[in-house]
Amino acid sequence: MALSRHAVRWPVIARGAPAGILLAPVLVMVAIAAAVLAFEQMALGALTLPFGLAFLAILFFFRDPRRVIGAGVVSPADGRVLVADPAAGRLAIFMGVSDGLVWEIETRLGPLELTQVAGIFARRIVPYVRPGDKVKKGQRIGLVRFGSRVELVLPPGCRLVVAVGDRVRAGASTIAEVQDGLGP
């Protein structure tokens, strides 16, 4: 895995986002048009606001922002640190909104174990890579739809630099430093 800082360009909407995210604006427009025809002004305000807010919330959840890759071991997800156990090299990040998908990533320091935990709402993990694929630091490996948690077990030689309650950003926030400047 490379240690260099470089900008990564990702699409605005994450790969693996549900197809409904693209149909939502069409459905909203049809519902609003029907409401205006049937109930005129009253329905326009009553339907526009909830449908519009729901669409914006889903769009926000499935955004895929550009990030500058951080130094050391970087966060695998956006969220708040729930567990930071330096002795065990274990970290858990709450992602918001219980199936799991476990990745074991071989690094120069040894294996790094990452578990993606899907929330009870959508229960879907969309992998972008397959077993045996090589990944680079900061590379997207999958999407947890309406995910709730990512857990990480770091290889020996990594020192956690985050604490419970810290806010982290995927690919950008340094969560651990590596002895001798080597990176996983």
Pair (90, 176) in one structural domain: yes
Q: Is residue 92 part of a domain?
A: yes
Pair (27, 84) in one structural domain: no
Which one from 4, 98, 148, 173 is the annotated catalytic residue?
Answer: 148
Q: Is residue 33 part of a domain?
A: yes
**Predicted local distance difference test score (pLDDT) of residue 14:** 66
Q: Which of 157, 174, 162, 119 minimizes the C-alpha distance to 3?
A: 174
**Predicted local distance difference test score (pLDDT) of residue 42:** 66
Q: Is the pLDDT of residue 45 over 70?
A: no
Task: Tell me the pTM.
Answer: 0.64
In the three-class reduction of DSSP (H, G, I as helix; E, B as strand; rest coil), residue 22 is classed as: helix
**Predicted local distance difference test score (pLDDT) of residue 83:** 93
Q: Is residue 50 part of a domain?
A: yes
**Mean pLDDT in residue range 47-67:** 75
Q: Is residue 155 part of a domain?
A: yes
Pair (104, 161) in one structural domain: yes
Pair (90, 168) in one structural domain: yes
Pair (103, 31) in one structural domain: no
Q: What are residue 52's phi and psi, to 5 degrees?
A: -65, -45
Q: Is residue 13 part of a domain?
A: no
d(CA 24, CA 103): 32
Q: Is residue 11 part of a domain?
A: no
Q: Is the pLDDT of residue 2 over 50?
A: no
Q: Read off the pLDDT of residues 135-150 as tens digits, 9 standing for 90 and up.
A: 888 888 877 776 678 8
Pair (49, 120) in one structural domain: no
Q: How many CB atoms lie within 10 A of CB 66?
A: 12
Q: Any alpha helices (H) in the chain, and if so which ranges?
A: 20-39, 41-61
Q: Is residue 106 part of a domain?
A: yes
Mean pLDDT of the residues in the chain: 76
What is the tally of structural domains in the chain?
2
Domain that holds residue 172: 69-181
Any catalytic annotation for residue 148? yes
Q: Is residue 3 part of a domain?
A: no
Identity at 76, one-letter amino acid code: P
CATH value at residue 141: 2.70.70.10
Pair (104, 36) in one structural domain: no
Pair (57, 90) in one structural domain: no
Identity at 39, one-letter amino acid code: F
Q: Read off the pLDDT of residues 117-170 as tens digits, 9 standing for 90 and up.
A: 777 665 677 788 888 888 888 888 877 776 678 888 988 889 999 999 999 988
